[in-house]
Structure 1
Amino acid sequence: MNPHTHCLRSLCAFLAALVLAACLACPALADAPLVRDEYGLFDADTLAQLESSAEDASAGHDCDVYFLTVNSIGDTDQRAYAKNYYVQNDLGSGNGKSGILFMIALGSRKYVTITYGGGVTAFTDYRIEQLEDEVVPLLSDGDYADAAQTYIDLCASTLDFYAENGEPLDYDNDPDGGLGLIGILIVVGIPMLIAAVVCGILYSRMKTAQLKTEADDYIGAGLKLRVKTDRYTHTDRVEVYDPPQPESDSGGSTTDSDGFGGSSGGSF
């Protein structure tokens, strides 16, 4: 064998071994980021902290938690933009591409939440509404880092609940969703107490009222009816269309034709 050829092969093998060793030593380099700050909203320390939180929230659940910032989505609907981004960037965990993504477009101040795969099951419509109710006010106030951290924390607690209970967090099993005994006493008891006080005051002022037992007692003095007749004239009937109402509190998650769940989004 030509010694030059032998040396070349040895060098190639050595370089290949170095590349493989570098990849094995730095597996995180192959992972796509979960917090994708394409707008450049966060400084390096904040971005690193949010990424670490998102990784912890996703770990062990086979469902990736994404937070995305972009500048402008043009004339595209925010939900359609987020769905296209999810697909084009091959996001999601496992074969089912399971995940949840919250996107904000700073240029147009739009937001949306989308879910896919196992994320659709884990994040019910009820829970997504709760999530957005917590996050959007922070966005409106310009507290973007707090909004991102709050979103990630809520995702973590939602995935933990699903793992611990074997069912997603929904309106009928939310431990913080019910009024409880104290809440019922406040909501029902206080109005009843106020009504009783008002009725007692009104009753105490009706000292001159006397109960009448005869119909004639309610006819003015001197009024005499010479003829009393009842004559049927007609019957009025009004028909009002009552459309069927959608089921309320049906729970679960709704999906579109592409299999994505989530919200329709809005503005902040």
Structure 2
Amino acid sequence: MCKTNCYKKCCAFLAALLMLAVLALPGMAAAPLVRDEMGLFDADTYNELEQSAEAASSGHDCDVYFLVVNDIGDANQRDFAKNYYVNNGLGSGEGKSGILFLLAVGSRKYVTITYGGGVTAFTDYRIEQMEDDIVPKLSDGDWAGAARTYIEMADYTLDYYAEHGEPIDVDNDLGAEGLLFVIGIPAAIAAGVCLVFYHQMKTAKEKTEADDYMPGLKLRVKRDVYTHTTQTRVYDPPKEEKSSGGGSSTDSDGFGGSSGGSF
């Protein structure tokens, strides 16, 4: 009887341990997306950014990371970010899909890297757009503003890709709806105004005599005398040709993104 009771207690104990392990799995899997390794953000700001990054990543099988470190020394920022991504097992799903923005505050360096599905969703063109909006905030020391901008733009990019089935790129920047709003509607308004003016001008009559414009003016002598010709030359330098190609470029390790820079 004693052996039976001990056996039952042991089984119950093991079952309890197994249940605790199962309950702990979601928490273990939910690795932070905002990785502030130098304590740059206060608690409220960090929680806000983390929630935004989770919302941006949700449903896209592509994690949005914002990594803050202090000093990376002489290391290349792209190599540092790639090593961090791999060594920490980042990314969503089997493809380890994600995008990571590295901010090295002490070194004043930054870089954006993508991997897996993140390479497809974030084209070189889009990453350049994102960094153009983020870097000025870094230069001003607006760390939280830079992080918010990055997460918001990443969120919009992933939503666009999910909705349209193609990433934001050089040939579809605003999409059909955006072009209609930015170009079509103002053009329609301008056409309407011009049409009103055109109908108003139908009652106007062309004046052919100078006296019609300046009553009482009489010229006794009319003579045209040629004096000189003025020629102005303006130098028009040749413009650099920009590549019309889009898409995402990758390195030998399969990472996309930018080469980064300083701020």
- What is the RMSD of the two structures over their aligned residues, measured on CA atoms? 2.6
In 1, the alpha carbon distance for the partners of 2:225 and 2:66 equals: 69
Secondary structure of the 1:42 match is coil
Shift in Å at residue 2 of structure 1? 4.5
Gaps of 5+ in 2: 188-223, 230-239
Partner of 1:30: 29
Which residue of the partner structure matches residue 190 of structure 1?
none
Rounded to whole Å, the distance in 1 between the matches of 2:225 and 2:248 is 60
Deviations 1:158-197 (A, max 9, x none): 01111111111001101189784769xxxxxxxxxxxxxx
Match of 1:242 in 2: none
Distance 1:258 1:17 in 2: 39
Residues 60, 105 of structure 1: alpha-carbon distance in 2 compared, 3 angstrom cutoff: same
Match of 1:256 among 251, 257, 262: 251
Query: Which residue is 2:73 aligned to?
Result: 74
| AA aligned opposite 1:50 | L
Q: Equivalent residue of 2:167, what SS?
A: coil
Q: Which residue of 2 aligns with 1:265?
A: 260
Going from structure 1 to structure 2, the CA distance change for 1:41 and 1:210 (only over 3 Å counts) comes to: closer
Secondary structure of the structure 1 residue equivalent to 2:96? coil
User: For residue 108 of structure 2, what is the amino acid of its counterpart?
Assistant: R
Give me the whole-angstrom Cα distance separating, in 2, the residues matched to 1:255 and 1:246.
23
Per the alignment, residue 153 of structure 2 pairs with 154
TM-score after normalising by structure 1:
0.71
Q: Quick check: 1:209 aligned with 2:227?
A: yes
Q: Per-residue deviation at 1:209?
A: 3.2
- SS of the aligned residue for 1:108 comes to coil
- Quick one: which amino acid aligns to residue 208 of structure 1? Y
Instruction: Give me the whole-angstrom Cα distance separating, in 2, the residues matched to 1:89 and 1:51.
Output: 18
Superposition deviation, residue 18 in structure 1: 4.9
Identity, in percent, stands at 62
Taking the aligned partners of 1:163 and 1:70, their CA distance within structure 2 comes to 31
5 and 108 in structure 1: CA distance in 2 versus 1, 3 angstrom threshold: same
- DSSP 3-state at the match of 1:163: helix
Cα 1:208–1:168 shift into 2, 3 Å: same
- Separation in structure 2 between the aligned mates of residue 74 and residue 210 of structure 1, nearest angstrom: 68
One-letter amino acid of the counterpart of residue 263, structure 1: S
Matches within 5 A, 1:187-202: none
| 1:41-92 Cα deviation digits (max 9, x unpaired) | 0111111110100011011111110000011112110000000000000111
SS at match of 2:113: strand
Match of 1:19 in 2: 20
- TM-score, reference length from structure 2: 0.73
Alpha-carbon distance between aligned partners in 1 of 2:8 and 2:45, rounded to the nearest angstrom: 48
Within 1, Cα distance between the matches of 2:7 and 2:123?
62
Check if 1:40 corresponds to 2:39.
yes
In 2, the alpha carbon distance for the partners of 1:172 and 1:77 equals 32
Residue number in structure 1 paired with 2:7:
6
Amino acid across the alignment from 2:10:
R
Name the CA shift for 1:84/1:207 in 2 (closer, same or farther; >3 Å). Answer: farther
